Structures are given as structure tokens and as C-alpha cells.
């Protein structure tokens, strides 16, 4: 958590797309576990193997940034993006289901405790889904519904924690699991600095382990390349109405700097996490008329000009159809005849799309814009750091 807080504050200051949230994702965690098993199979210590793999991974990320390898992500189709999102969702769902199944099949866990844990989990899940889908509801006004939907996961987690505490206070024969925090200071590692120091000993590895680290870094680069860039591409989706340009190469360079620091410290590698990044992006989006409260006379004049332009496009489109049917047209309203039927169809389609886009009005629940800034990403991880510093003793006592 300390690495997540500190590197999460560094990443938005260096990257090109600060709307993404850094974290240890499912694919990265699975790869680290596979690398550890491979190191145990060949009798190589894990931390030096992991550190050297991260160093070579950082080298590959640096080369990828310098030679703009992120341009290849343009070949990824929408189907691949959605398939990747499904993969991430399945990893989270399987993790949750595995936790509940372990509780029910563990003989040392009372049945009441397992049922209470399942109740809290389902309550948290359906509370988040209900609040998230409340944008189209009838309670409160649109602004309140949008703000509640933006913080749906936070509200749901707060409700779940409150119910869990209430159950623990009501029944003394069971207790629910909470985040385990050591009672030592924030500068201490999990096993203690005497057993596990902060900086990994890079010399504690042989030639076979060094060669394995090169291969491990290469495969880690492949996993991180797709995990990072597909997540950024999902955030940069057209429906989010982003205005700033993309910065895939800057993201990869920032990731290179963060990865080498994490590797030397023996902390989990982090990339742009899909689910938190999309939630963060949508929380900064304007829905309906959220961003139109302060319209000026200049904005209204611009909207009127765009409406007039849309009407002119529709009129030209109608004149084009009449020209095809009647064979004649006069004045500036005439359009240039297409050289082929396919060109004519393409031209009509482009004009119709432009007119529809300019005449489309917000329904009150659709995304109309996004607040693109770096402050929220920085502050999220800064609050995590403050929680570790201020509330560490309270968390350790739970």
C-alpha cells in the first residue's frame, strides 16, 4: 500500500493520461506468482530474480517508449478491448467467489460467520450497482443522482463496513476479516527490515537466475504492454468526450521509471488498473447538463451557429437527393456530383452523421464532457498515504 501511495503520486506527474489509476492488476499479480513458482523450480531466490526481471522490464519499457511501440495498439479492435475488460472482471469475480467458498468449506469457520460474510458481500455489491444505476431514477434531482453515482463504490463499501461492524458488535461468537496491518512503524516491512530489507540485494543471484530474469522481463513487458495500453485506450474511448491528445509513449516512460523503483524495493509492479481507471474517468465526466450551468452569451451564439450549420447540412442533403432524382439543381445549394455510386453514398453518410451529431442534445444521463486534470489522481494516492500514516495504529488494532 505504501508503494501504491507513493508511486501513484509520482505517475500522474509524469504520464500523458492522468485519468488512469495505478495499481497491481490481476494479470500482473498472476504473472508475479508464476515467476515465483518458476524461480522455486530452478532454485533461484525470488526477490533478486524479481528485481532483475523488473530492471530488464524497465529497459524494454524504455525502448518501447523511444520507438513508439504503443502505436501498434491502434490495431486492437473494440472486440479485443471488451474481451480484455471481461478478463479483468472474471479475475475479480473468481477472487470474490473463491473467498466465500473457502469460508463455507472451512471447518474452522462457523456457519454464521460465513453467512454474515456472504450477506455483507452481496449487500455491498448490490448497493454499488443500485446507486450506480440511479442516474435515470426519480429520487432527488439530476445533479444529486450524478454525484451519488460517481461515488457508488465508496458509498457501498462504507455501507458494507458499517453493517459488518454492527454484526460484530451484536454477535460475539464470530468476527469478519479486515485488512491486516502490522503494528510497527510505516517504515517497517511486513517481516521486519532485519529479515526483509527495503532494498533488494541484486548480487544474490547466479548466472542461471540472471538469464531467467531476462526472459522474465521480456514476458512481463508483453503482459504489461497490453494491460497498460488497453486500459488507457478504454479510458480514451470516444464516449468519454476527451479533448486532450493521447500520450501513450509518455505513459510508458512514466511506467518505466515507476517499475524500476518498485523492482529495486521488491514491491509489486503496477500499471493502470482497468476498473479503478474507468470509475475515476466516469466520476470526472459531465452527465446531461452538468457542464452547462455557466453558459455565456458567447456559448449561446456558438450553439446557435452550430444549429444553423446543421440545418444547412440537412438542406444540402435534401438538395442532393433532389438532384439525383430530378437531374438539376441551382445556386450555391448544389453539391458536387459524385463520380460513382459509392462516393455518393459516402458523401451522404458523412453529411447525415455531421448533422445528427450537431443536433444531438443531452438527455440528462449521457456523457457530455470530462474534466481532464491530474489533481484527483494525485490526491487519491495522497489520501492513501495519509491513511497509512495517521490511521495505521487504528487499523492494526482491528
Confidence label for 79 from pLDDT (cuts 50, 70 and 90):
confident
What whole-number distance in Å separates Cα of residue 226 and Cα of residue 75? 12
What whole-number distance in Å separates Cα of residue 14 and Cα of residue 16? 7
Q: What is the mean pLDDT of residues 189-216?
A: 82
Asked whether 19 and 372 are in contact (CB, 8 A), the reply is yes
Confidence label for 261 from pLDDT (cuts 50, 70 and 90):
very high
Question: Do the strands 285-287 and 367-370 form a parallel or antiparallel pair, or are they unpaired?
Answer: antiparallel
Residue 31 in 3-state DSSP? helix
Q: Is the per-residue pLDDT at 301 higher than 90?
A: no
What whole-number distance in Å separates Cα of residue 303 and Cα of residue 292? 12
Tell me what percent of the residues of the chain surpass a pLDDT of 90. Answer: 10
Please say whether the dihedral angle defined by the alpha carbons of residues 150, 392, 274 and 382, taken in this order, is positive or negative: positive
Asked whether 288 and 365 are in contact (CB, 8 A), the reply is yes
Q: What is the mean pLDDT of residues 130-158?
A: 80
**Residues contacting residue 44 through CB under 8 Å, at least 6 positions apart:** 205, 206, 208, 209, 212
Range in 180-194, 203-217, 319-333, 358-372 the model is least confident about = 319-333
Residue 286 in 3-state DSSP? strand
Q: What is the pLDDT of residue 396?
A: 56
Asked whether 135 and 145 are in contact (CB, 8 A), the reply is yes
Q: What is the mean pLDDT of residues 120-143?
A: 83
Q: What pLDDT digit, counting tens, does each position of 344-362 carry?
A: 566 666 666 655 555 554 4
**Residues contacting residue 103 through CB under 8 Å, at least 6 positions apart:** 109, 113, 114, 117, 118
Rounded to the nearest 5 degrees, what angle is found at the Cα of 268, between the Cα atoms of 62 and 86?
A: 85
Which pTM was predicted?
Answer: 0.67
Asked whether 149 and 134 are in contact (CB, 8 A), the reply is yes
Q: Is the per-residue pLDDT at 324 higher than 60?
A: no
Confidence label for 332 from pLDDT (cuts 50, 70 and 90):
very low
Please say whether the dihedral angle defined by the alpha carbons of residues 345, 347, 348 and 354, taken in this order, is positive or negative: positive
Tell me how crowded residue 311 is: count the other CB atoms within 10 A of its CB.
Answer: 13
Q: What is the pLDDT of residue 289?
A: 57
CA distances from 292 to 171, 243, 288, 296, 297 (A): 51, 16, 8, 9, 12
167 or 14, which is more confident? 14
Amino acid at each position: 500500500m505504501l508503494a501504491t501511495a507513493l508511486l501513484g503520486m509520482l505517475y500522474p506527474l509524469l504520464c500523458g493520461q492522468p485519468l488512469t489509476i495505478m495499481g497491481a492488476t490481476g494479470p500482473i499479480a498472476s504473472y508475479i506468482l508464476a515467476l515465483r513458482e518458476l524461480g522455486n523450480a530452478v532454485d533461484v531466490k525470488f526477490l533478486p530474480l524479481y528485481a532483475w526481471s523488473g530492471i530488464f522490464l524497465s529497459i524494454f519499457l524504455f525502448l518501447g517508449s523511444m520507438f513508439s511501440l504503443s502505436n501498434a495498439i491502434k490495431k486492437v479492435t473494440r472486440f479485443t478491448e471488451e474481451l480484455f475488460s471481461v478478463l479483468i472482471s472474471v479475475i475479480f469475480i473468481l477472487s470474490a467467489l473463491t473467498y466465500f467458498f473457502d469460508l463455507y468449506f472451512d471447518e474452522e469457520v462457523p456457519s454464521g460467520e460465513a453467512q454474515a460474510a456472504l450477506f455483507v458481500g452481496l449487500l455491498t455489491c448490490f448497493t454499488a450497482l443500485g446507486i450506480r444505476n440511479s442516474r435515470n431514477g426519480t429520487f432527488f434531482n439530476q445533479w444529486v443522482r450524478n454525484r451519488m453515482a460517481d461515488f457508488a463504490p465508496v458509498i457501498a463499501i462504507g455501507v458494507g463496513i458499517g453493517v459488518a461492524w454492527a454484526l460484530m458488535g451484536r454477535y460475539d461468537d464470530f468476527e469478519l476479516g479486515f485488512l491486516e496491518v502490522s503494528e510497527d512503524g510505516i517504515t517497517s516491512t511486513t517481516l521486519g527490515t532485519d529479515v526483509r530489507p527495503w532494498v533488494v540485494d541484486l548480487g544474490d543471484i547466479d548466472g542461471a537466475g540472471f538469464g531467467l530474469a531476462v526472459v522474465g522481463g521480456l514476458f512481463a513487458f508483453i503482459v504489461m504492454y497490453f494491460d497498460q495500453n488497453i486500459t488507457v485506450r478504454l479510458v480514451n474511448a470516444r464516449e468519454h468526450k476527451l479533448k486532450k491528445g493521447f500520450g501513450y509513449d509518455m505513459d510508458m516512460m512514466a511506467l518505466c521509471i515507476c517499475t524500476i523503483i518498485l523492482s529495486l524495493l521488491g514491491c509489486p509492479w503496477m500499471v493502470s488498473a482497468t476498473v479503478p481507471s474507468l470509475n475515476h474517468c466516469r466520476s470526472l465526466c459531465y452527465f446531461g447538463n452538468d457542464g452547462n450551468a455557466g453558459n455565456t452569451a458567447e456559448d449561446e451564439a456558438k450553439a446557435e451557429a452550430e444549429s444553423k450549420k446543421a440545418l444547412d447540412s440537412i438542406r444540402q442533403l435534401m438538395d442532393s437527393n433532389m438532384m439525383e432524382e430530378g437531374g438539376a439543381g441551382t445556386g450555391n445549394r448544389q453539391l458536387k456530383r459524385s463520380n460513382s455510386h459509392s462516393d455518393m453514398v459516402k458523401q451522404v453518410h458523412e453529411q447525415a452523421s455531421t448533422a445528427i451529431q450537431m443536433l444531438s442534445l443531452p438527455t440528462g444521463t449521457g456523457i457530455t464532457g470530462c474534466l481532464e486534470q491530474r489533481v484527483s489522481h494525485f490526491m487519491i494516492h495522497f489520501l492513501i498515504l495519509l491513511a497509512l500514516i495517521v490511521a495505521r495504529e487504528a487499523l492494526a488494532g482491528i
